[in-house]
Amino acid sequence: MNVLVINGPNLARLDIRDSAIYGDMTYPQLVAHIENAAQTQGFKAEVRQSDDEATIIGWLHEAADKKLPVIINPAAFTHYSYAIRDAVELVKSPVIEVHLSNPLAREEFRHTSVISGVANGTIGGFGPNSYVLALIALKALLA
Ligand code: DQA
């Protein structure tokens, strides 16, 4: 089964983000990590990244139309994008929110997720393995 993995703004620049927070993987390495883990769990992952809110909303509409399960790291949009929240709500397949870091252990503005309330669950703080844990959770949800 296909799973759409959506990464939000600035995640494609992991090479120049704070490695103490986001780890040492480059974005292409993260994509390979997700694709391999998906294969292990019996999924085919299509991994996309955009810095643009409208593009992400379009991908969520596509997931809703095609009934695709979604793993989404909305990045900074997590904390304020009601438009992405409303688009996630349209996806009736499982949607799992992931974060590389643990937003709850960081600045106060990161403690709010407007997405969590419409996702099946949220996984954060495990670096690239947040995505692996999300894939395991997704497999269990779909079983
Ligand atoms: C992030 C956490 C967000 O607060 C931040 O804006 C990001 C990445 C994470 O994966 O840890 O860009 O979603």
Q: Is 23 exposed, middle or buried (0-12, 13-18, 19+ CB in 10 A)?
A: middle
Q: What is the rounded CA–CA span in Å between residue 91 and residue 2?
A: 14
The Å distance, Cα 106 to ligand 1 centre, comes to 10
Kindly give the number of the ligand 1 atom that is closest to the alpha carbon of 124.
11
Give 77's pLDDT tier (boundaries 50, 70, 90).
very high
- Domains (range + CATH), the chain: 2-142 (3.40.50.9100)
Ligand 1 contact via 134 beta carbon (within 6 Å):
no
Ligand 1 contact via 113 beta carbon (within 6 Å):
no
In tens, the pLDDT along 95-126 reads 999 999 999 999 999 999 999 999 999 999 99
| pTM flag (> 0.95) | yes
Ligand 1 contact via 110 beta carbon (within 6 Å):
yes
